[in-house]
């Protein structure tokens, strides 16, 4: 099994991260527990969740916030030996209730949200506590003070970010350095073959400051998983096909034809492409079935040659490089 250091930290994680947003709403608890165990049995150790996961498809958000963390917590309780085998990540920012201080990155909210996540996860420490979004109306002095207290209390080990712009990453890192703190060690961002905007500034910022990149939606909501052959099954309704698939049908056909030539499923090729980027630590996979999880594992042994990478760039061109050269001289 391959393990890499998460950004500039010393902790090592597997090259795939198990995303859990589907656990609860789309994956029931027995299957979720089986998938978590299978993931670990395969030698993988990086599990990501969020305090708001559990809301889906029009459910009342207040009734289901924390549902996913609770399911993971019961798995941890039922498998006590597993906790020390995994790097457990969760997030703070979005609403945990309906009060005026129940979201964001205030010290008030961070403290309360952390305690509630620890309770739901049935653990005494979160390995990677991630800011789910940037909040520019809260000062970094307040944010880093809150995280520093949690670190000193032993409730969290590392801090990460998610959905940050390049300059937010830079600001977070520099203000942490002023306080003699390690600062964020990772950034979760939406990044995949068909959505390469992070190459402009987010990826260069991660490389410069030593953050590991954790791409979410690596298959672009299934678009890169062989959607033309899959048709409209699963969650793909007519509107989704009309709005997402049809405008890209020609590219998707070229892409899926190339995958057929390579002899690998499109989902594996899309993940392997991400793993070729040295800034990428681990794409987040979100299987809804055990078979989807099993079908993903072989990607760890898939290496794409330079000719294939060039063809993928031709089908799914990026923004033209890094800023500012991508749009200036």
First to last CA, the chain: 43
Catalytic residue among 53, 129, 158, 255: 53
Task: Quote the CA–CA distance of 217 and 203 in Å, as a whole number.
Answer: 16
Cα–Cα distance, 303 to 309 (Å, whole number): 10
In sequence order, the 6+-apart residues with CB closer than 8 A to the CB of 131 are: 91, 92, 93, 105, 143, 159, 160, 161, 162, 164, 184
What is the dihedral sign for C-alpha 22, 24, 25, 30?
positive
- Find out whether 14 and 45 touch, Cβ atoms under 8 Å: yes
* Six-digit token string for 176: 């942490």
- The whole-angstrom separation of Cα 320 and Cα 329 is 12
Q: CA 97 to CA 60: how far, in whole Å?
A: 11
DSSP-derived letter for residue 27 is B
Contact 83, 92 (CB under 8 A): no
Cβ neighbours for 88, distance < 8 A, ≥ 6 positions apart? 47, 49, 121, 123, 126, 127, 128
Longest dimension (CA), the chain: 58
Contact in structure between 276 and 304 (CB atoms under 8 Å):
yes
- Does the annotation mark 129 as catalytic? no
**CB neighbours of residue 130 within 10 Å:** 27
On whether the CB atoms of residues 23 and 31 are closer than 8 A, the answer is no
Residues involved in catalysis = 53
């Amino acid at each position: 099994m391959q393990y890499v250091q998460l950004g500039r930290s010393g902790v090592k994680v597997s090259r795939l991260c198990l995303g859990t947003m589907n656990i609860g709403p789309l994956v029931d608890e027995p299957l979720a527990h089986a998938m978590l165990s299978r993931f670990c049995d395969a030698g993988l150790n990086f599990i990501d969740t969020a305090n708001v996961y559990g809301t889906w498809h029009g459910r009342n958000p207040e009734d289901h916030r924390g549902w996913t963390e609770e399911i993971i917590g019961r798995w941890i309780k039922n498998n006590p030996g597993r906790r020390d085998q995994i790097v457990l990540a969760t997030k703070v920012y979005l609403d945990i209730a309906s009060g005026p201080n129940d979201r964001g990155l205030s010290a008030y909210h961070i403290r309360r949200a952390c305690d509630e996540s620890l309770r739901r996860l049935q653990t005494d420490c979160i390995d990677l506590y991630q800011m789910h979004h940037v909040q520019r109306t809260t000062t970094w002095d307040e944010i880093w003070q809150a995280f520093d207290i949690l670190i000193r209390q032993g409730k969290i080990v590392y801090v990460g970010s998610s959905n940050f712009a390049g300059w937010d990453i830079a600001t977070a890192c520099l203000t942490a350095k002023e306080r003699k703190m390690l600062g964020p060690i990772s950034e979760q961002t939406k990044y995949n073959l068909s959505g390469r905007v992070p190459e402009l500034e987010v990826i260069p910022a991660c490389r410069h400051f030593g953050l590991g990149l954790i791409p979410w939606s690596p298959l672009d909501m299934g678009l890169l998983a062989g959607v033309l052959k899959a048709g409209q099954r699963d969650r793909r309704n007519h509107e989704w096909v009309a709005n997402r698939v049809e405008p890209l049908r020609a590219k998707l056909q070229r892409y899926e034809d190339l995958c057929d030539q390579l002899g690998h499923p499109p989902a594996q090729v899309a993940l392997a492409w991400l793993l070729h980027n040295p800034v990428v630590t681990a794409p987040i996979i979100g299987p809804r079935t055990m078979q989807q999880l099993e079908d993903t594992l072989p990607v760890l042994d898939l290496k794409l040659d330079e000719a294939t990478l060039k063809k993928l760039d031709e089908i799914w061109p990026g923004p033209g490089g890094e800023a500012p050269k991508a749009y200036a001289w």
